[in-house]
Amino acid sequence: MTNPFDNSGENSSASPFNAPHPGQPAGNPGAQYGGYQDTNGGYAGYQGYGGYHNDPSQTAKAGRFEAVESLGQAWKIFMENPVPWIVGTLVYGCLAAIPMLIGMFSMIVAAINADSDPDSVPAFPMGGFFVGIVILVIAISFLQLLIFRNARQVIGGQPVTVADFFAFHGIGKMFVVALLLGIAVQIGGTVVIGSFIVSFFGMFAVAASADPHTSIISSFQKSFDIILANFAQAILLFIISSLVAMVGFLILGVGALVTVPVSYIAIAHAFARATNVPVMQRA
């Protein structure tokens, strides 16, 4: 499918810094020495970031998105090439589940032993459970950021492969944002509604951090701004995507291999719409 979007809408105005110096011939000085190609095009010989080239000093007004459209597009994107999404979700899901299961098993064994000899209960079970929580948050953070990064790629019309889920270049900032969000959700979980509030207002934070010009703090701010500008649609997207993911876990956990990536892709698509990033529309 060809991308219906072209570059006709990009800012093509010349930079005031491109004026020639005395004694220098007119033209693009960057092209003469293989330097910067254009303010929107990245380095010469390399592709730009495809819509993520806004001036960081300017705060763009959040655009609009439709929750149902984003969910529908997410399903079509997933069905185009489901294998990478399934493999990535399976690998990082196992990394998250195995330590948790070991920690829970240790606590069950310790509780059984406590009935017979309370003095024999070791300190390891609680420590093991805590380590399991940490690994869970890290694994989920990796899954989130890799799905969002790859979704950003495929939403723009570029293919995604299994290898993309194991390529870790340029994910440092995204990992910090995803990790901070995961920790905040866990802390918010001490209050029943706390984790839902944190998850809701941070829904677009990881997707926002994929923008190379967006800082860690700005990623959370951008998520907050988009949600305020699309409050009703954001609530609808949050509820439906959460329910979709939960349904997958109810089907013996296997369904989550489909529903989890679909829900994340939907959020990434909504973010692209809200930030006016070119989107390849699936029919």
Classify residue 44: in a domain, yes or no.
Answer: no
**Closest to 213 in 3D by CA, of 80, 18, 58, 26:** 58
Instruction: Give residue 180's pLDDT.
Output: 94
Instruction: Give residue 128's pLDDT.
Output: 67
Classify residue 116: in a domain, yes or no.
Answer: yes
* Cα 275 to Cα 53: distance, rounded to the nearest angstrom: 11
Classify residue 280: in a domain, yes or no.
Answer: no
Classify residue 16: in a domain, yes or no.
Answer: no
* Cα 273 to Cα 7: distance, rounded to the nearest angstrom: 17
Average pLDDT across each block of 10 residues of the chain; the chain has 283 residues. List them in order: 43 41 43 37 37 43 91 97 96 85 74 67 62 82 93 94 92 94 88 90 96 94 96 97 92 90 97 94 90
Classify residue 22: in a domain, yes or no.
Answer: no
Range of the domain at 108: 67-275
Q: Token pair for residue 252?
A: 């013996």
Instruction: Give residue 40's pLDDT.
Output: 38
Helix and strand counts by DSSP (H, E) for the chain: 10, 2
Classify residue 34: in a domain, yes or no.
Answer: no
Helix (H, G, I), strand (E, B) or coil at 95: helix
Classify residue 145: in a domain, yes or no.
Answer: yes
Classify residue 158: in a domain, yes or no.
Answer: yes
How many structural domains does the chain have? 1
